[in-house]
């Protein structure tokens, strides 16, 4: 059996949650997150919404198909995100097939990525642990990883 790819998911509380950015439009992601796969080095962006809000963010037939499967598989109070690959060099964001879910009561994080261009087709089941807040630093609220980050 192939060893699971090492990953670190950092979840940040969305400081703008609930505020407006245009007339009648609100920042509605509860958490903003980054998921970094260590080898190959690929970074993904995640915006966690409530299930009710997330289902209204589907933009393609593929996302609609995935949405119907995910709605059946997750708890009603789960926070859900699409998966977007972020290219540091070009600053481009590309939607990839997959989703992430976070159970707010247990902090169980499920992440499924099918990114053919990056050669990553994998799923992770992790537990997000609270992080210490550091004054003056943008520290994540939660961290979910399957590797020791002190050696990387």
pLDDT in tens, 124-149: 999 999 998 777 778 899 999 999 88
pLDDT in tens, 31-78: 999 999 999 999 999 999 999 999 999 999 999 999 989 988 898 899
Q: What is the CA 55 to chain-centroid distance, rounded?
A: 15
Residue-range domain boundaries for the chain: 7-151
Q: Classify 68 as helix, strand or coil.
A: helix
pLDDT in tens, 108-124: 999 999 999 999 999 99
How many other CB atoms are there within 10 angstroms of residue 135's CB atom? 5
Query: What letters, b where the CB count within 10 A reaches 16 and e where it falls short, cover 71-107?
Result: eeebeeebbbbbbbbbeeeeeeeeebbbbbbbbeeee
Residue 129: strand pairing partners: 143
| pTM for this predicted structure | 0.92
């Amino acid at each position: 059996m192939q060893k699971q790819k090492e990953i670190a998911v950092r979840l940040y509380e969305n400081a703008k949650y609930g505020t407006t950015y245009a007339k009648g439009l609100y920042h509605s992601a509860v958490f903003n997150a980054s998921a970094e796969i260590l080898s190959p080095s690929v970074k993904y962006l995640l915006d966690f919404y409530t299930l009710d809000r997330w289902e209204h963010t589907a933009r393609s037939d593929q996302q609609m198909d995935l949405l119907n499967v995910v709605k059946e598989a997750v708890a009603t109070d789960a926070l859900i995100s699409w998966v977007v690959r972020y290219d540091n060099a070009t600053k481009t964001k590309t939607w990839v097939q997959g989703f992430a879910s976070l159970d707010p009561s247990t902090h169980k994080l499920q992440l499924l990525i099918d990114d053919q261009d990056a050669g990553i087709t994998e799923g992770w089941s992790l537990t997000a642990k609270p992080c210490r807040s550091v004054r003056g630093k943008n520290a994540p609220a939660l961290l979910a990883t399957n590797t020791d980050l002190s050696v990387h």
